Amino acid sequence: MLVRSLIHRLFGLFLCLGGVLGCRGEQPTVFTGLTQRGVFLVEVRSSPDPIPLNEPFELAVVLRSGADSAPALPGRTLLVEGWMPGHGHGMLRQSQVDDLGDGRYRVRGMLFHMPGTWELRVKVIETRIEEEFRVVEDDQVSFEVVL
């Protein structure tokens, strides 16, 4: 997933540089990836864009089933955090996720407090009833952010 995000960003840069005469500003950064087991497709945009260093930012998340053309999935629980794998620690604050309906979620309270390589981790939890059993399924995806 990290490689896919990097390829996506490099491709966008290539398109912009390749068409300098027609390039009118940068496209917004969009992190898109399948969760580890392919259960969910997660799309994330930051506000502001790009993600700032040591300043609060928000995320807009759209969640779909593993198929690209599937409709967005409402009513799931998202846990979102920033993690610095090179330092073995996360953010100094805990994010809050608002379910906006229609498979859209807003994540508040994000802050990457130091420069370096961060992982933006999104864990999706789905709870449902099958026959007479409660089933809880979770899957996650990480995106690399370098500040």
CATH of the domain at 131: 2.60.40.1930
Alpha-carbon distance of 79 to 75, in angstroms, equals: 13
Element (H, E) at 17: helix 2-18
Alpha-carbon distance of 118 to 65, in angstroms, equals: 26
Q: Indicate the residue type of 59.
A: L
- Print the domain residue range for 49: 29-146
Alpha-carbon distance of 72 to 42, in angstroms, equals: 10
pLDDT computed for residue 83 by the predictor? 98
pTM comes to: 0.79
Q: Is the peptide bond before 28 cis (omega within 30 degrees of 0)?
A: no
In DSSP terms, 146 is beta-bridged to: 117
Low-confidence ranges of the chain (pLDDT < 70): 1-26
pLDDT computed for residue 4 by the predictor? 44
Tell me whether residue 13 is in a domain: no
Tell me whether residue 11 is in a domain: no
Q: How many domains does the chain have?
A: 1
Tell me whether residue 8 is in a domain: no
Tell me whether residue 18 is in a domain: no
